[in-house]
Amino acid sequence: MKVKFEDFFLLDEELTEEYKILRDSVRKFVNEEVIPIIGEYWERGEFPKHLIEKIAKLGLIGSYMPVEYGGGGFDKLAYGIITRELERGDSGIRSFVSVQTSLVMYPILKFGSEQQKKKYLPKLASGELIGCFGLTEPDAGSDPSSMKTRAYKKGNYWVLRGSKMWITNANLSDIAIIWAKDDDGIIRGFIVERDMGYKSREIKGKISLRASDTGEIILDDVEVPEENRLPFAEGLKPALMCLNQARFGIAWGAVGISQFCLERAINYSKERIMFSNPIASFQITQQKLTDMLTLTQNANLIAYRIAKLELENKLTHYHVSYAKRYNVRAAKIVCDMARSILGANGITLDYHVMRHMANLEAVETYEGTYEIHTLILGEFLTGIEAFRK
Ligand code: TGC
Ligand code: FAD
């Protein structure tokens, strides 16, 4: 049997035909529609909006939501495969799908009323409505429980006052899932429609995730009807449960970047002649490639394992933290090595590696920084929380 570096441990052999078709169709889409154009959009600092319709038509939004609400009816393994393949193209494209699926549709599915599910989920799945998720604030990042945004009850309405910072899809959004504290300090979730009055402002000057829409959300006494409160979300835990879903997709997505960069580096090193020999023939290059293979395959094994645990209902948020932390850091190291193998070409948009490398800076920060996931696992190991003094 011939073992390929792309799937060293033959994990794809575990996939049924249905998953393989899904993998191949997303990969085809990324190769044909994302990779050829993404550098230009990244350079311009613009999200490629024209891809939304195609992404939705391929069933990549809400893939693990029930069919009755317009979702794909797939499981989380399928979601992992989708995010892995999309992030081979660009983290911003994967981010768009992560937010729409795991941070907007998931909270409505999990904590929403039947009426809310029927009203919003099908339109979110089809891309007719774009959503965003507002948890982070200018002064509340790693510690979302310190949020300042308030929800005041006024008759049958809630008045939302505050602001949210670093919000993916903020400017594209028609609706925002907003987390705010009520008079008793209880965190509640709201589906806020653009027409209800929230404003957004683009964050400019990013040198990471440039092909993703990132903005601020301003809530200046926005009146939200009681029927738009998520009835089954109370406290910080529901928001953290949403993060688990998105972190799962990031852990898979990071593998896509590693796979892409390893392949690039192998091909380049065989073609690039220096000192009259392909650079692939030098021992230092081979050591880099071997380290890249190891990091990539370890990350892929972890990704498959968390999907299996999820299917068996055994996945905990500790597993997800482990996977997000390891796989993103592994991808950063793989990108760094690939970039060095590509020499000067490695710093250009044409070869894609440096764009991935820059994107990973944001990916390692959002959805819980490397340090926060270290402390989550530190708490798992010791039983002692070390976030606060
Ligand atoms: P803490 O007291 O530890 O927890 C409150 C309750 O929640 C439970 N819990 C979780 N449950 C489910 N999933 C998780 N991941 C959970 N983590 C904790 C916990 O057991 C407790 O339950 P109970 O029953 O005892 O009440 O809360 P804390 O205030 O101490 O905070 C803990 C900490 C620091 C780990 C958490 O706040 C955290 O994860 N901080 C990082 C913030 C973060 O990740 N923000 C992400 C914002 S969204 C985003 O970045 C989108 S980017 C999207 C994209 O473009 O792809
Ligand atoms: P801080 O919390 O200020 O942390 C700064 C540094 O201090 C980090 O290195 C951190 O690890 C470290 N640190 C903090 N606390 C501790 C501690 N206890 N011990 C040790 N070290 C610590 N948020 C949303 O709600 N929705 C979104 O859609 C969204 N999209 C994003 C898109 C992008 C491009 C980016 C960059 C961010 C996005 N975020 C979003 C916000 C993201 O979740 C936060 O940036 C992240 O949680 C970290 O918060 P912070 O940036 O305020 O950093």
Q: What is the pLDDT of residues 200-240, one digit of tens each?
A: 999 999 999 999 999 999 999 999 999 999 999 999 999 99
- pLDDT score at 301: 98
pLDDT of residue 64: 98
pLDDT of residue 169: 98
Q: What is the Å distance from ligand 2's center to 300 Cα?
A: 25
Residues 6 or more apart from 3 whose CB is under 8 A from it?
Answer: 10
Residue 1: the pLDDT is 73
Residue 381: the pLDDT is 98
Whether the CB of 95 sits within 6 Å of ligand 1: yes
Whole-number pLDDT of residue 256: 98
Give the residues across from 164 on adjacent strands: 217
Q: Is 297 in the pocket of ligand 1 (CB under 6 A)?
A: no
Residue 110: the pLDDT is 98
User: Which residue's alpha carbon is nearest to atom 38 within ligand 2?
Assistant: 166
**pLDDT tens per residue across span 156-196:** 999 999 999 999 999 999 999 999 999 999 999 999 999 99
Which atom of ligand 1 is the closest one to the Cα of 250?
56
Kindly give the distance from the C-alpha atom of residue 142 to the centroid of ligand 1, in angstroms, as a whole number.
9
Residues annotated as part of the active site: 367
Calpha distance 165→168 (Å, rounded): 9
Q: CA-CA distance, 159 to 252, in Å (whole number)? A: 38
Closest ligand 1 atom to Cα of 320: 15
Residue located nearest, by CA, to atom 8 of ligand 2? 369
Pick out the chain residues at pLDDT < 50.
none
Domains parsed from the chain with CATH numbers = 5-126 (1.10.540.10), 131-234 (2.40.110.10), 238-382 (1.20.140.10)
> What is residue 373's predicted lDDT score, i.e. its pLDDT?
98
Which one of 98, 166, 250 would you pick to mutate in the ligand 2 pocket, going by the greatest count of ligand atoms within 8 A of its CB? 166
For residue 229, the 8-state DSSP code is B
CB crowding 257-283: b at 16 or more within 10 Å, else e: bbbbbbbbbbebbeebeeeeeebbeee
Test site for ligand 1: of 236, 241, 318, most ligand atoms within 8 A of the Cβ: 236
- CB-count exposure of residue 126 (10 Å: 0-12, 13-18, 19+): middle
Cα 370 to chain centroid distance, Å, stands at: 15
Does ligand 1 have an atom closer than 6 angstroms to the CB of 237?
yes
Shortest-distance ligand to the CA of residue 371: 2
For residue 317, what pLDDT is reported?
98
Residue 95 Cα, ligand 1 centroid: separation in angstroms? Answer: 19
Contact 99, 168 (CB under 8 A): yes
pTM over 0.75: yes
Residue where the block lists tokens 């992030």: 87
Closest atom of ligand 2 relative to the 136 alpha carbon: 25
- Decide whether any atom of ligand 2 lies within 6 Å of the 91 Cβ: no
Which atom of ligand 1 lies closest to the CA of 135?
Answer: 47
